[in-house]
Amino acid sequence: MLARLTTGIVCLFAATAAGAAEKPNIILAMADDQGWGDMAYNGHRVLKTPNFDAMAASALRFDRFYAAAPVCSPTRGSVMTGRHPNRFGCFKWGHTLRPQEVTIAEALKKAGYTTGHFGKWHLGSVRKGSPVNPGASGFDEWFSAPNFFDNHPILSDKGKAVQTEGESSMVTVDAALAFIRRCVAEDKRFFAVVWFGSPHGPHQALEKDRRRYADQPTALQHFYGEITAMDRAFGKLRGELRVLGIREHTILWYCSDNGALKKVGSSGGHRGIKRQVYDGGLLVPAILEWPAQIPKPRSTDVRCNTSDIYPTLLEIVDMSIEHQPPLDGISLLPLVEGKMTERPRPMGFWDFPVRGVGTPSRQWMTELLTAQAAGREPEDTWKLRLDAGKITKRYSEAELPGWAAWIDGDWKLHRIADKTGGRVRYELYNLAGDREEKNDLLARESDRAEAMKAALEAWQRSVVRSFNGEDY
């Protein structure tokens, strides 16, 4: 099965003869900048998240779930591909997918799913003619924004700018539900990606949500209010699955795209902030609901990450991909089935020292709306990211710059290099009893550290080869 996937150039799909009735509907929902501790069920003393709490109390709750990167676009790319985002050059916010990558939407389409994307994209353009818009990445329907968005957003309906009205999370869910209802009415198996624009700053909560936190500083009122509004929209999405009679056989998987924000967010006591690979910048809330396979609530301390979503879904629908580029994620189906008690292989993280690319959603979507109202498309074709598939720069396997980490069981090794990779230092922690990553055990555990160094650097060299185009 997934263990027998190989590498190559041409992506050929093969589905088994399993009937469509045996395959679940799938919804992937994701917050934008919600830390592990930004949930009432994870112990936040102020936030009100009743719908997330209810799901966490009835489903599979991941207590050690990691974003593949400490910022947004790379993590979203890991969900789409099952690969560490550095493999396809999605180093920071605003970087894109490569058209050469196989996405989960493309794979599930081949497995007979109708696919839809709703909300934040941030993996390319949301304009017509782009090789990295949601439609070019496997989605039949899409109502998307190029980046985060606030209330009353302008979204792209398969390339046509549409002015919406309403709170941003509810706008996203309502669009997704319209798609889901059509699929149910037409007896189609569906895959829906619902990526919220909240609680990314600037935080602009509705007055009724802000007032719930009136005893807090103004910045926190808006931050908490946005999460509460997102919780309400998510509750509507989850509730509608029961109304439609599809809850039992629908996978609903929720997580965030990176760890806690500075000043307003909560890491739940884990060390680190956004853009670092300490756990506080990577650990996110995550819950998987699938009543047909997870009839009773439970939680897991097995360490998992967003790259695992792709191979898990492929195994669930019994789909294999011939000539699959190297995957960093693993299938979590054994975990869903209660058969996995520890992760069978380590996880690698690498925050490469490359700058992000500005993607001002409101400005760009306003320009698109204005141009289309005048009967034309904007002339700034560079925003289409037409060169997304070009590999114009090659990196050396000998130079491994930036901050990387390797998690093997409860052990976590940090490799902290400068921007050239010339100067390197290491830190080693046992996460089981040191969630704040304060007790560096590098000297005491020298043999373990050396083995982990070798494994991490071998993985990094593999990532460099992928970036240089050797997978295609």
Q: Which residues contact 434 (CB under 8 A, 6 or more apart)?
A: none
Domain 403-467 has CATH 3.30.1120.10: yes
Q: List C-alpha distances in Å: 48 to 41, 191, 203.
A: 9, 29, 16
Confidence label for 3 from pLDDT (cuts 50, 70 and 90):
very low
Tell the residue number behind the tokens 């709750």, with chain if given.
61
Domain boundaries, the chain: 23-345, 403-467
pLDDT at 276: 79
> What's domain 23-345's superfamily in CATH?
Alkaline Phosphatase, subunit A (3.40.720.10)
In terms of Cα–Cα distance, which of 195, 227, 191, 280 is closest to 41? 227
Mean pLDDT (the chain) is: 94
Question: What does the block give as tokens for 146?
Answer: 């190029």
Distance, in Å, from the CA atom of 296 to the CA atom of 91, rounded to the nearest integer, reads 39
CB atoms within 10 A of CB 198: 31
Helix (H, G, I), strand (E, B) or coil at 176: helix
Beta-bridge mates of residue 13: 321
Residue 92 near residue 111 (C-beta atoms within 8 A): no
Backbone angles phi, psi at 321, to 5 degrees: -120, 115
Can you list the positions of beta strands (E) in 202-346? Answer: 250-256, 283-289, 298-300, 304-305, 319-322
At 323 the pLDDT is 87
Strands (E) in 6-70, as ranges, are: 12-15, 25-31, 60-66
CB atoms within 10 A of CB 249: 17
More confident residue, 433 or 138: 138
State the Cα–Cα distance between residues 172 and 195, nearest whole angstrom. Answer: 8
Out of 190-194, 201-205, 420-424, least confident range: 420-424
**Token code pair at residue 76:** 């979203």
Confidence of residue 275 (pLDDT cuts 50, 70, 90): low
pLDDT of residue 274: 58
**What tokens were used for 230?**
């997102």
Give tens-digit pLDDT for 14-66. 333 333 447 999 999 999 999 999 999 999 999 999 999 999 999 999 999 99
Question: Hey, which of 2-6, 7-11, 220-224 has the most confident mean pLDDT?
Answer: 220-224
Whether the CB-CB separation of 381 and 424 falls below 8 Å is answered with: no
Q: Phi first, then psi: what are they for 226, rounded to 5°?
A: -65, -40
Give the whole-angstrom CA distance, residue 247 versus residue 313. Answer: 17
Collapse the DSSP code of 248 into the 3-class scheme (helix H, G, I; strand E, B; otherwise coil) and give the result: coil
Res. 286 pLDDT band, cuts 50 70 90 = very high
Q: 432-445, pLDDT tens digit by residue?
A: 999 999 999 999 99
Going along 211-343, which residue ranges are E strands? 250-256, 283-289, 298-300, 304-305, 319-322
Interatomic CA distance for residues 160 and 372, integer angstroms: 8
**The predicted structure's pLDDT at residue 9:** 30
Averaged over 176-187, what is the pLDDT? Answer: 98
Range 419-425 average pLDDT: 91
DSSP 3-state percent helix, strand, coil across the chain (nearest 5): 30, 20, 50
Q: 197, 19 in Cβ contact below 8 A?
A: no
pLDDT at 5 (0 to 100): 32
Paired tokens of 43: 């112990």
pLDDT tens figures, 199-219? 999 999 999 999 999 999 999
What angle, 0 to 180 degrees and rounded to 10, lies between the N-to-C axes of helices 168-185 and 218-243? 10
Closest Cα partner for 405 from 396, 416, 414?
A: 414
Spatial separation of the C-alpha atoms in residues 420 and 113, rounded to whole Å: 45
Query: Does pLDDT of 322 surpass 90?
Result: no
pLDDT tens string 56-97:
999 999 999 999 999 999 999 999 999 999 999 999 999 999
Residue located via tokens 């103004």: 218
Residue with tokens 């309403």: 166
Residue 337 token pair: 């089935």
Instruction: Quote the pLDDT of residue 371.
Output: 97
pLDDT of residue 422: 87
How do residues 333-377 score in pLDDT, each as one tens digit? 999 999 999 999 999 999 999 999 999 999 999 999 999 999 999
